[in-house]
Chain A
């Protein structure tokens, strides 16, 4: 494969291939707003309707008849940042599928599998998700199950104990692949005591000690209609769907006031360069991240930062990939990214190289990064990056799942349609002077933070050259906190 692909590919693919989406039935009052799509050559947010039930549940509906499928995406505003035990949000989400509404786990799975339908649940950093994808003809089968999974989970003891045990083993397995876990170590290093340090997965100790009562309490506190949005995208009749969803969710009651930590406070002050060295004694390469604090998802400069980062490390011809891979042959890939959450984020340069060339690759990454300040961006490169970012934008919003995900993101991150509709104009308007200002304001220049996962005996000495070193074994529970 020419380039590294996303980790979403199944493990089997990676093994065998090198490669590189008006209610007439009740008296419930509701507000409906229409959003009309722009027309023209640039990509615009497709038209959708928003319905708000009296209980506060927001429902967004977008009709897409291209394939006879429907996606439901419920997002609850609570995630790992609300964890009182590491991994609680995710374990709560995972446990929704362990039996609900009088049906066992196995009964739910059998019913869904028989019609090829999926319900997937996940607790992420800022939000918890219940997502479903199914054939339009199966709406009447899937919706009651989806409703029960979201609202009426049984939290069965026996099934919970099995899930808990599987997840503890799963955490050990994830650590067999440095690429899968390095981001968790990095967030812990950068955010320290702040909730964004929390790994949504939790850790082996916390998961082993978790109790089902904690899950029940988490569900009761956060899974409430006024704290949830449902996005529905696909091939359906708009009026029928609105009536059905209103009927289904109108009796969902709020139970208590939702507590939200103020995550914009107590953000880390990085006063020294630090290195977290994670020892994996049989490592044949060193996997590393370098960077610092980034930006929140609704940052007004996010589009400009996307363009600048594209130049630095966001595409194949980026400076980092060109130097470390194409010119030096040190690695299969070098990248950089702003990873952003609702109230904060990180910036990170990422690569990997065989153990013997760790220093060469890290020094070249740093030298290349410094070009942002020492050399700056030229007009031709800026023009190219702008074309690239615009050209690659529409395929991000092609499927029902992607569009439902986009609307869920808007809810969690407080981003409106303007982000989509003004994207192209914002990219077009970016000047060289503005890129310089963005570099100066947002890219961490000093007091850089490092995570290295590799054979510590062979890279311990050089790790000291980059900052104050803390060393942990990869097999230790957790991610270096």
Chain B
């Protein structure tokens, strides 16, 4: 999920007038149960509510052909019945206690989010523990859920051009690594996976030692600890899942893909460049480069493409990832602008950074934006939980959140130019075009 919410404690002197009430390292407690489950707790009584975010280290990168999309499908099945709470009872029980939930799956993780009045905390523990320890996969529920997921896939493709084009681009940018298929999976796999596939998936990945849990809101640490030991403590650890072995071979030349969709009114162009995993030292420079390209109407893509009437939309995206992944640059053409013209204009902006670098003023601007965006994310208990969990997963520890300021502040204009020259080059690029009509052969 794209929440580039990064925390900052700030460079000396710049922000000395900041409110003292903002979240700091001292506000977060964490403990690990004997079975390996790590739990972080942030007390916040601004509203009489709390949340529980469970991050499982399983996503489409853990799949193989034949079971593509199973991580996401499994996310759905986690709501369909367990030992104490049978089919439909998870949602009925939670909603009757005043709670709501959702879940999402990415290439890297599967995340379950519960939002509830703080007095429902024990009910939430009971519900989660039951489905983690004792999921009961009902064959009839599997069949009706296939229809639901097929509808989710269809409505995504019907309503989101980005969904359609990104699937195609991933498919060419990656030739070996499981990032090459979409999170929702191939239609044929959705129709075909078996009960055994699902049971094995649960046993392998839904073990307490493969999870990170964050609880934020109107709760008390001692009570959370007690309930965590009582409900999550007895769930046995499992042998850790096998590592994802495949390393994507080095790309040695531009790759291209075209996707036709009759209702597309002007061409959409997506560029994707291989970039390192989020844990790599270059993450910070790449993240700031991405913001220099696309963040706000003073950004390079807005000033040079949208303001010049070449494009009507332009954005960049770099998902947080365990393995080396992609930086996406995407844009929608203005009326009368061809896909080729738009592509060349995008590439020109990317190449300009490699050739000439960026200004100190541009870099300072996106660093300032990082800071305010961090505070925006810290306005809600959900933003807090999500940010803490994200840092724990992708940077090795939630404590890295509080070191992020120094990491971003160390980035120089020379670093930005260096990462552009290293990663944003033609041989490392894939280009996707989505348009109503493919050009005829010459």
Chain A contacts to B: CB under 8 angstroms: 1-3, 5, 10-21, 41-43, 65-69, 105-106, 109-110, 112-117, 133-137, 162, 165-166, 168-170, 172-173, 175-180, 235, 280-285, 287, 315-317, 322, 325-332, 352-354, 383-384, 387-388, 390-392, 394-395, 397-400, 474
Contact = CB atoms under 8 A, between A and B. Distances in A.
A394 B48 contact: yes
B372 A391 contact: no
A8 to B, nearest CB: 12
Nearest to A133: B376
B12 to A, nearest CB: 15
B24 interface: no
Contact of A384 (B17, B92, B303, B317): B92
Contacts of A283: 158, 263
Contacts of B370: 116
B365 A114 contact: yes
**Residue among B98, B144, B150, B373 with most chain A CB within 10 A:** B98
8 contacts: A14-B163, A66-B46, A67-B22, A136-B17, A178-B158, A180-B159, A282-B262, A387-B97
Contacts of A177: 158-160
7 nearest A-B residue pairs (beta carbon): A391-B98, A19-B104, A329-B147, A116-B372, A15-B162, A384-B96, A329-B144
B1 A13 contact: yes
Nearest to B336: A169
A285 to B, nearest CB: 5
B145 interface: yes
A345 to B, nearest CB: 24
B88 A113 contact: no
Given A11-B160, A17-B1, A384-B96, A116 B47 contact: no
B371 interface: yes
Contacts of A135: 371-372, 375
A3 B148 CA distance: 10
B341 interface: no
A133 B296 CA distance: 14
Contacts of B378: 67
Contacts of A474: 263
A169 B265 contact: yes
B92 A114 contact: no
Given A66-B379, A387-B96, A398-B380, 17 more contacts: A1-B102, A14-B156, A16-B328, A43-B48, A67-B375, A67-B376, A68-B18, A69-B379, A106-B297, A114-B365, A285-B155, A326-B148, A328-B147, A329-B144, A329-B148, A352-B158, A391-B99
Contacts of B76: 2
Contact of B88 (A69, A134, A317): A317
B160 A316 contact: no
B59 to A, nearest CB: 10
Interface string B266-279: 10000000000000
Contact of B147 (A109, A280, A330): A330
Contact of B297 (A113, A329, A354): A113
A395 B315 contact: no
A315 B313 CA distance: 33
B101 to A, nearest CB: 7
Given A13-B1, A178-B159, A280 B95 contact: no
B263 A176 contact: yes
A2 B103 contact: yes
B19 A176 contact: no
Contact of B312 (A14, A19, A173, A394): A173
Given A14-B160, A388-B100, A69 B48 contact: no
Interface stretch (B115-123, B127-135, B237-245, B412-420): B115-123
Given A13-B1, A67-B379, A113 B296 contact: yes
Given A110-B298, A282-B262, A398-B46, A322 B88 contact: yes
Given A281-B262, A354-B154, A12 B315 contact: yes
Nearest to B316: A12
B56 interface: no
A284 B152 CA distance: 12
**Residue among A65, A114, A352, A354 with most chain B CB within 10 A:** A114
B98 A392 contact: yes
Given A109-B298, A136-B19, A282 B261 contact: yes
A1 B375 contact: no
A474 B183 CA distance: 30
B402 to A, nearest CB: 16
Contact of B22 (A2, A68, A162, A285): A68
Given A109-B296, A395-B49, A17 B379 contact: no
A387 B106 contact: no
Interface string B146-172: 111111101111111111011000000
